[in-house]
């Protein structure tokens, strides 16, 4: 059976690692690794929360638009979102950054 981890579990694990590092008197190089892990985990948690909030807001907004039959306004918003996605294609930026 697979265990599903929540981002908060990773954050708590990173915090425990940081406390353990402080108590064990790690050398500066190991302490840097622990700090980097904590920072990365916090950034991942923030990004996940922001993406979830954006998705929820967009879904509820589209439900609101379809409820009141504002099809014209919904089409304009879909076109604007598609235009934004084409201008700021994150996959292209990521592939350029990797290569």
Best-predicted range by mean pLDDT among 31-35, 39-43, 76-80, 95-99?
39-43
From residue 19, give the alpha-carbon distance in Å to each of 22, 42, 43, 61: 5, 16, 19, 43
Q: Which residue has the higher pLDDT, 92 or 75?
A: 75
Query: Of 39-43, 50-54, 65-69, which range is least confident?
Result: 65-69
Query: Taking the domains of the chain in order of start, what are their residue ranges?
Result: 1-52
What pTM was computed for the model? 0.40
**pLDDT tops 70 at residue 15:** no
Q: What is each CA distance from 3 to 12, 15, 24, in whole angstroms?
A: 16, 20, 29
Burial of 41 from C-beta contacts in 10 A (0-12 / 13-18 / 19+) = buried
* Cβ atoms of residues 33 and 64 within 8 Å: no
């Amino acid at each position: 059976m697979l265990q599903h981890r929540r981002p908060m579990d990773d954050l708590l694990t990173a915090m425990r690692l940081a406390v353990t590092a402080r108590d064990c008197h790690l050398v500066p190089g190991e302490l840097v690794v622990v700090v980097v892990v904590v920072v990365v985990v916090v950034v991942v948690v923030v990004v996940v929360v922001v993406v979830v909030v954006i998705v929820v807001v967009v879904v509820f907004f589209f439900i609101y638009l379809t409820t009141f039959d504002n099809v014209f306004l919904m089409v304009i918003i879909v076109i604007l979102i598609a235009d934004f996605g084409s201008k700021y294609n994150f996959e292209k930026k990521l592939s350029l950054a990797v290569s």
